[in-house]
């Protein structure tokens, strides 16, 4: 991917982020390794037709991505497509949020979920003081002029935090500022120096994401403390922790602290 971007004159650096350390040497599948056969997908493509900053390829991106996932185990009947082409539901702020909620509704261990976004991405000043760089990464819905941009905090809260253990969610974000938009604790940045190191024989490894917000972890801790004071059981506390950050990420946090 990095070579293709350079060939076409783009300066973006591909980045992989995850809630757990992944092996980058073996094959990757969009189907859960412990699959129960259930799949759901949400595909969003925004060309901003008739607006400033209009794009050209995002509808085609969705079409190509749909072909890929439907040929690799995903059910076309369990897919939601939001495209500003006049034929599909609009990729508005509210429709994207509804899409997140539809995607994760009633999900359970063994499910395979997929989210693709192709459109503009951005960054805005962090209004919660949770980001180390002082900025929130954003998705830009088609109605951003009236509804604003969708911050990474909201994406995390609506799409990532509610996932139960054992669900696999794969996201492909084709937009600027997308590398850390999911706010996940591990990453691999395909920068020139990293790729040169890999080419020279160093193993490709995910490392802790320096931009991951541990203030969010503190928020979860405070919420769990309130649950404990309210008489919540250890099982309920464990479920709340796993729901917020995932079992693997929570284990990593314990080791780090």
Catalytic residues: 120, 176
Helices 214-229 and 234-245 pack at an angle, to 10 degrees, of 160
Do 116 and 171 contact (CB within 8 A), yes or no?
yes
Work out the burial of residue 42: count CB atoms within 10 Å of its CB; fewer than 13 is exposed, 13-18 middle, 19 or more buried: buried
- Residues paired with residue 44 on neighbouring β-strands, in sequence order: 82, 117
Do 115 and 159 contact (CB within 8 A), yes or no?
yes
Do 157 and 213 contact (CB within 8 A), yes or no?
no
d(CA 173, CA 13): 12
User: Which CA distances in Å does 23 have to 112, 139, 146, 157, 242?
Assistant: 19, 28, 42, 26, 22
Residues 6+ apart with CB under 8 A from 222: none
> What is the SS3 assignment for 136?
strand
Residues 6+ apart with CB under 8 A from 89: 80, 81, 82, 95
């Amino acid at each position: 991917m990095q070579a293709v971007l350079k060939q076409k004159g783009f300066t973006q650096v591909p980045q992989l982020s995850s809630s757990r350390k992944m092996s980058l040497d073996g094959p990757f599948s969009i189907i859960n390794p412990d699959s129960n056969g259930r799949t759901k997908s949400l595909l969003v493509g925004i060309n901003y037709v008739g607006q400033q900053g209009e794009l050209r390829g995002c509808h085609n991106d969705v079409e190509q991505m749909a072909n890929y996932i439907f040929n690799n185990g995903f059910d076309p009947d369990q897919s939601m497509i939001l495209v500003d082409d006049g034929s599909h539901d609009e990729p508005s702020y509210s429709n994207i949020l509804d899409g997140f909620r539809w995607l994760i509704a009633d999900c359970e261990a063994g499910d395979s979920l997929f989210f693709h976004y192709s459109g503009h991405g951005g960054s805005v000043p962090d209004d919660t003081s949770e980001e180390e760089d002082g900025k929130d990464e954003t998705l830009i819905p088609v109605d951003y002029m009236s509804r604003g941009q969708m911050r990474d905090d909201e994406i995390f809260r609506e799409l990532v935090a509610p996932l139960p253990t054992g669900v696999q969610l794969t996201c492909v974000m084709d937009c600027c500022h997308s590398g850390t938009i999911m706010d996940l604790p591990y990453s691999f940045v395909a920068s020139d120096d990293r790729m040169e190191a890999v080419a020279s024989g160093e193993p490709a490894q995910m490392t802790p994401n320096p931009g991951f917000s541990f203030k969010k972890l503190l928020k979860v801790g405070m919420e769990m403390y309130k649950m404990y004071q309210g008489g919540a059981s250890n099982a309920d506390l464990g479920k709340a922790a796993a729901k917020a950050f995932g079992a693997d990420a929570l284990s990593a946090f314990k080791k780090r602290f």
